[in-house]
Amino acid sequence: MTEASTPREIFRSANVRALYHGTNNRDRLLVFFLAFEPGSNESLVLSSLAFLDRLGADFVVVIPSSNAWYQYPEMPECLDAILGTAGAYRETVSYGTSMGGYEAIKSATHLKPDRVLAVTPQYSIDRSKADFETRWESEARATNFIDDEMNINAGTEYWLIYDPFELQDKLHVQLIASTVRNMRLIPIPFATHFCAHFLSETKLAPYCLDAILLGDFDHLEFRKLVRDRRQSSITYLSQVVQRLDRLQKCGQLRNSGLQRRLLEEIAQIPAINPRTWYQKSLGLWQLGRFTEAIEAARTAVAKKTDHPGFRKHLERLQAKVSEKE
């Protein structure tokens, strides 16, 4: 980002901070609640700021210091600071993915935004409220849930993007939709929990945020764009390959060669982040391109050194190559 566009801090505590970037445009403000990435959260912050800068919007980025689902006692103060900034704007839009999507929905009763866009959010990670949620068990055990009620703000329009084949996300969506009655659901099959990656790969993220900011989001047009662009997503193609493999193993599908064609497509698509490098590595290995698979796995580890799954995957591939030799 240029020096002129460097955001200004409007709130800071040990747990959360909020950065504001404004121009002379006082029409709409985007409030972006970040999720948390252990070990590399600062790189997530920088990439998010760069994305919003390219979007050209006035924005506030809310940055948590931990994976505690924004259960911080000072969150009302932080939201008040955002309200003080948002008061100069005609409209406010809240946005977030996963933990950030959860907070974008939950904080709407305080911020009263005109619109909310939440991508694969949770209803709660508290097992007493969502007993099916097992992905963040250690975080849930360490969290004191002091503000975990998801209520509706009658004046807010809610949009929620999710993968209907991701069972735990689907169950969260059902719970959210039972509370937030004016929720508009946008399913993207095979986008996984990492729908935000899918939106980035297909270059639909700017489209979504622009449309939500302007208040003219056309879900039918969006779904058409998803269908038109999903073949450019490693995330999407990898999930389709996995589904076809399962069907074939169950005897419900003959080997038509479709899986291999999709794997060859994956091999040609540029990876954009550690997870897509990991998925590309899996595909290259299935194609028998072992050297390239290991190099892709090394890239995933280099870009996210603290991810145990990526590191174990690389070690497994290297061990298999050693066995073959």
Containing 175, the helix (H) or strand (E) segment is helix 167-179
Q: What are phi and psi of 216, to 5 degrees?
A: -125, 40
Question: Where do the domains of the chain lie, and which CATH numbers do they carry?
Answer: 3-231 (3.40.50.1820), 233-324 (1.25.40.10)
Mean pLDDT for the chain overall: 92
Q: How many CB atoms lie within 10 A of CB 108?
A: 25
Q: What is the pLDDT of residues 243-263, one digit of tens each?
A: 988 888 887 777 678 899 999
pLDDT of residue 272 exceeding 60, the answer is yes
List pLDDT tens digits, range 81-100: 999 999 999 999 999 999 99
Residue 79 zone, left/alpha/beta (φ > 0; ψ -120 to 50; rest): alpha
Q: Could you identify the residue written with the tokens 């937030």?
A: 180
Tens digits of residue pLDDT in 153-212: 989 999 999 999 999 999 999 999 998 777 899 999 999 999 999 999 999 999 999 999
CA distances from 19 to 35, 36, 41, 114, 323 (A): 15, 16, 15, 20, 51
pLDDT value at 79 more than 50: yes
Say how far residue 2 (Cα) sits from the centre of its chain: 26
pLDDT (tens digit per residue) in 208-243: 999 998 899 999 999 999 999 999 999 999 999 999
Bridge partners (DSSP) of residue 97 are 119
- Residues 212-249 as b/e (b if ≥16 CB within 10 A, e otherwise) read bbeeebeeeebeebbeebbebbbbbbbbbbeebeeeee
* pLDDT of 4: 41
Q: Model's pTM, two decimal places?
A: 0.92
Which of these ranges, 67-76, 265-274, 303-312, has the smallest mean pLDDT? 303-312
The H or E element spanning position 69 is: none
Which pLDDT value is given to residue 325? 63
Is the per-residue pLDDT at 40 higher than 80?
no
- Model confidence at 62, in pLDDT bands (50, 70, 90)? very high
